[in-house]
Amino acid sequence: MRVSYPDDPYANDQAMYDARLHLLDRQVIDVHGVPVTAIDDIELTDVGVEESLPAGTPAPVVTAIVSGASLGTRIFGGRPPIDRLHVIDWGDVFEVGVVVRLAVGGETLSATWAERWVRDRVIGRIPGGRHAPE
């Protein structure tokens, strides 16, 4: 599937990107350079249920990137429950390259809630766990 990015500086030149090549399974890095998650799926603008788009139809636009616990569904099939998926708005994406860089900090995203929970509830209770090593 090929999609175009909203607010793409090359949109007037009809630049198109391959979603499987440029987005899926890419590492997501926050504004501080800290890894946040990997991209498991993308959300697109509604284009209908057709297998292929008729000629002259604009390409779908990426609206969000999705991550979450999808390994089990890749192995066993099916779809993960919607409450297990973490959606990051496409407006938060700063750059798409070898990694996908965000313009926001990872601590503001729901994708990092498990790490924050373990940090606060488990690691923080270990003596010396609340500060960086010296």
The pTM for the full model equals: 0.67
Per-residue pLDDT of the chain (134 residues; tens, 9 = 90+): 344 455 555 444 444 667 788 888 899 999 999 888 889 888 888 766 556 667 777 777 888 998 877 667 777 877 777 777 888 999 999 888 899 999 998 888 877 777 778 878 888 788 876 666 66
Q: What is the CATH number of domain 2-105?
A: 2.30.30.240
- The pLDDT value recorded for residue 56 is 75
Chain centroid, CA 61 distance in Å: 15
N-term to C-term CA, the chain = 49
Q: Which of 130, 85, 112 is nearest to 28 (CA)?
A: 112
- The pLDDT value recorded for residue 103 is 92
Q: Within the chain, what is the greatest distance between any pair of CA atoms? A: 64
- The tokens describing 16, both together, are 């198109």
Q: What is the C-alpha separation between 8 and 14, in angstroms, rounded?
A: 10
- Enumerate the β-bridge partners of residue 100: 28, 96
Q: What is the C-alpha separation between 116 and 107, in angstroms, rounded?
A: 8
Mapped onto helix, strand or coil, the DSSP state of residue 95 is strand
Question: Do 43 and 63 touch, CB atoms closer than 8 A?
Answer: yes
